[in-house]
Chain A
Amino acid sequence: MVSAINTLSRAPTSLHKPHRRVVGYFWGLAATTLCTLITWPLRTQIGPANILMIFLLGVFFVAIRFGRGPSILASLQSAGAFAFFYAPPIFSFAVSDTEHLIGLAVMLIVAVVTSSLMEALRSQAAVAAQRERRASTLYRLSKELAGTRQEADVIAAGIRHIHAEFGSANTLLFPNAQGRLHGPEDNPLPNSLPEMDPAMAQRVFDKGQPLGTGTDSDSEETVLYWPLVGSERTLGVWVMALPANRSLSTEEQTLLDLFLHQIVQSLERVRATEQARCAAIRMEAETLRNSLLSAISHDLRTPLSTLVGASGTLAEDDGHLDAERRRKLVRAIHEDAQRMSDLTHKILDMARLEAGKVVLNRQWYALEEIIGSALRRMRKQLGNRPVAVDLDDGLTLVYVDAVLMQQVLVNLLENAVKYTLEASPIEIRAALSPELLTLSVADQGPGIPEEFRHQIFEKFFRIHPEAPQSGAGLGLAICRAIVNAHGGWIRAESRIGGGTVFRLDLPLTETPPRIEPENEISSLS
């Protein structure tokens, strides 16, 4: 269990202390030695009182820099050095002058007082620095959480920040619908906790009170269970395993509480957003279903009545119908069946695209080929109508789902055929730039009024719903869905000289594959 916890490099002061202390005492000794060396040549010029001052200065510096122990050492040593070298009798530790004894006592007091003052100051500064650091980590956490949009991101950010602050391995347990906690199903995040006591977590979740295990000194690690108390209910339990010999001070517990509070707030925020989004989607699906139903009922019932009526007439005919009449009925059945077939295809295509399950089967196709197969599928409807095809380079490879792109072209051509006169020409153009393929299908029909140019791509939208040539209003919606799935966009423009241009832009993001020169391949086989 311990191995799962990342190595902890917090509390550097405690780790560095022994080393620092040795250095301090060394400097304590060195300062005295230095003072002795400096004052020795000057002993004839300046009096013992001033020499004492220099020693005092040395002790003072040691006290400031290295604290009590080294400064006391320095003052004692200074006292010895002064007594030995300067206070008469020289070269003896005896001090005859009371004046010097007072000086030495003052030195000792200065050392103690200064060093305790400095130590108090230092610890205050350390506390302040730590507070500032915590405030800034808290700020960083809330800043990162504020940018999250998904629950998983909130959890990841929370785990990362809590690990950084407390060095703990963490995990977050959420309840299922029955209120039983379960662990994360996905791959564990970095610094997550692999094992814990589920019963304990459940208890914490039910009671809403934090608990901890292994707080006694001999256990390897401390595992804490903190409930994530939200505004309405407990959202889950935060489990954190602290590394060996680490426990949380009261101050740290407050900080942890703040952290978890932030995380809870963010979790509640993203959950509320997600709920709102789901509701919006449900509503949209509802609207779609309603409009789909009304479209189906209108567009399918009409041909169905013909089918049922005409075929019924034929089935019950006992020889009263003449050949001409029968032929008419049969033709009506055939035409309406065809219409229904087209509609069914469109509705199914749209439903498939809407379901969001469309996985594009993108491959490299020559542009010409896609246009060619669309024209071929439309050859009956196009008849002898002039269709001009103008491609920069028909052999250019594009990375698309050919079946779907062909569908886009077929739908656009169908539209052009439906809304223009029989001999009215159609133009298909392709222009290539390094980043973009622009395909356009232009007709010379009545054009689309400005105000409808966006709406025509909406599902079931028809400018003249009752017009005989109107379909279900899905063709262009399908085009848009397919083009969007390819990362492109489609729009309708008016053609100079009358008519409509449907223009679709496809970004060319992939580099076409290189094919080995032919002689290499042919020599292989």
Chain B
Amino acid sequence: MMEIRPVILVIEDDPHLRMFLNTCLSGHGWTVVTAETGTDGLASARSAKPDLVILDLGLPDMDGVEVVERLRKRSEIPLIILSARNHETDITQALDVGADDYLTKPFSTAELVARIRALLRRALQRPWGPPRDVFQAGELKVELTRRKVFLAEREIHLTPIEYRLLTALIAHAGLVVTHRQLLNAVWGPAHIEHSHYVRIYMGQLRHKLEADPARPRYLLTEAGVGYRLCDED
């Protein structure tokens, strides 16, 4: 049986980077469609029906955040953004309006491929698969139906907020979640500016779930952007 090759749309204005992404992603068995500008990219997103979009935030014709917004209006297609480091504000904005993950330039091929895989996997689960009832990564196991958390088979007691924070991260396992998104999911829109809430509870959660909270294995910090729950063993 012939495998269906997922289609990846790359919206990037730099020809070399576009070429590199094309070569690298094709090499991993994905079909690559490229676009140079935001306008072209939005058109291709309609015509080529990609399974995932990689979008450079610094495009010549349009604000990258606007491209994200317009893509999101139409579909839930997985979306990874590329940006220069030191542009945390832009990254956070793009994530808040619906981008799924980000990479800062220069990035390694391995990182990019890992992100694409995580997103494609999640996209497959989302519409058809049943909601996840168990999350497992390494020694961490969360039984979502029974609301129980285990670390190396030992049950860990979490407070309601800690548990909600953990489940909000599980919903996007492997992907970055911004402070804003976590605040909204756990505390509600009224507390959206209280980003220290997230940090305080994340600290507590790390002390319960991590062997060495200063070197977390599961609950990773994306400085200036948010958090990522590591879902690899």
Contacts and interface: CB of A to CB of B under 8 A. Distances in A.
Answer whether A and B are interacting partners.
yes
A371 B203 CA distance: 12
Contacts of B221: 369, 372-373, 376
B214 A515 contact: no
Nearest to B206: A368
B132 interface: no
Given A368-B206, A394-B214, A524-B188, A402 B224 contact: yes
Given A363-B196, A389-B212, A524-B188, A395 B223 contact: no
Contacts of B195: 363-364
Nearest to A341: B106
Nearest to A338: B106
A331 to B, nearest CB: 14
Contact of A371 (B196, B214, B222): B214
A219 interface: no
Interface in A341-386: 341, 345, 348-349, 352, 361, 363-366, 368-373, 375-376
Q: Categorize the interface residue count of chain A.
A: 35 or more
B125 interface: no
A332 interface: no
A376 B220 contact: yes
A521 B187 contact: yes
A372 B221 CA distance: 8
A366 B161 contact: no
A397 B196 contact: yes
Contacts of B224: 361, 402-403
Nearest to A523: B160
Contacts of B213: 368, 372, 394
Contacts of A364: 195-196, 199
B161 A394 contact: no
A406 interface: yes
A317 interface: no
B106 to A, nearest CB: 5
Nearest to A402: B223
Interface string B217-233: 00011111000000000
A402 B196 CA distance: 12
Nearest to A405: B223
Q: Categorize the interface residue count of chain B.
A: 20 to 34
Contact of A521 (B106, B161, B199): B161
Nearest to B196: A364
Nearest to B195: A363
Contacts of B220: 373, 376
Q: Which secondary structure dominates where chain A touches chain B?
A: helix
Contacts of B86: 348-349, 352, 403
Contacts of B214: 368, 371-372, 375, 389, 391, 394, 428
Given A394-B213, A402-B223, A366 B199 contact: yes
B96 interface: no
Interface in A504-525: 513, 515, 518, 521-522, 524-525
A158 B231 CA distance: 69
Contacts of B202: 366, 369
A88 to B, nearest CB: 103
Contacts of B106: 337, 341
Contacts of A524: 188
Given A368-B206, A368-B214, A518 B160 contact: yes
Contact of A406 (B160, B206, B223): B223
Contact of B215 (A337, A352, A389, A402): A389
A395 B197 CA distance: 12
A518 B88 CA distance: 30
Contact of A522 (B160, B196, B206, B222): B160
Interface string B89-105: 00000000000000000
Interface string A425-456: 00010000000000000000000000000000
Nearest to A340: B106
A394 B210 CA distance: 13
B85 interface: yes
Interface string B171-187: 00000000000000001
B176 to A, nearest CB: 12
Contacts of A403: 86, 88, 223-224
In order of increasing CB-CB distance, the 8 nearest A-B pairs are: A364-B196, A403-B224, A373-B221, A366-B203, A389-B214, A522-B160, A395-B203, A373-B223
20 contacts: A337-B106, A361-B88, A361-B224, A364-B195, A364-B199, A366-B203, A370-B223, A372-B213, A372-B214, A372-B215, A373-B221, A389-B212, A389-B215, A394-B207, A395-B207, A403-B88, A403-B224, A515-B196, A515-B197, A525-B187
Interface of A: 337, 341, 345, 348-349, 352, 361, 363-366, 368-373, 375-376, 387, 389, 391, 394-395, 397, 402-403, 406, 428, 513, 515, 518, 521-522, 524-525
Interface of B: 85-86, 88, 106, 159-161, 187-188, 195-197, 199-200, 202-204, 206-207, 212-216, 220-224
Given A341-B106, A389-B214, 18 more contacts: A345-B85, A352-B86, A363-B196, A363-B199, A364-B195, A365-B199, A368-B203, A368-B206, A371-B214, A372-B214, A373-B221, A376-B220, A395-B200, A395-B203, A397-B199, A403-B223, A521-B187, A525-B187
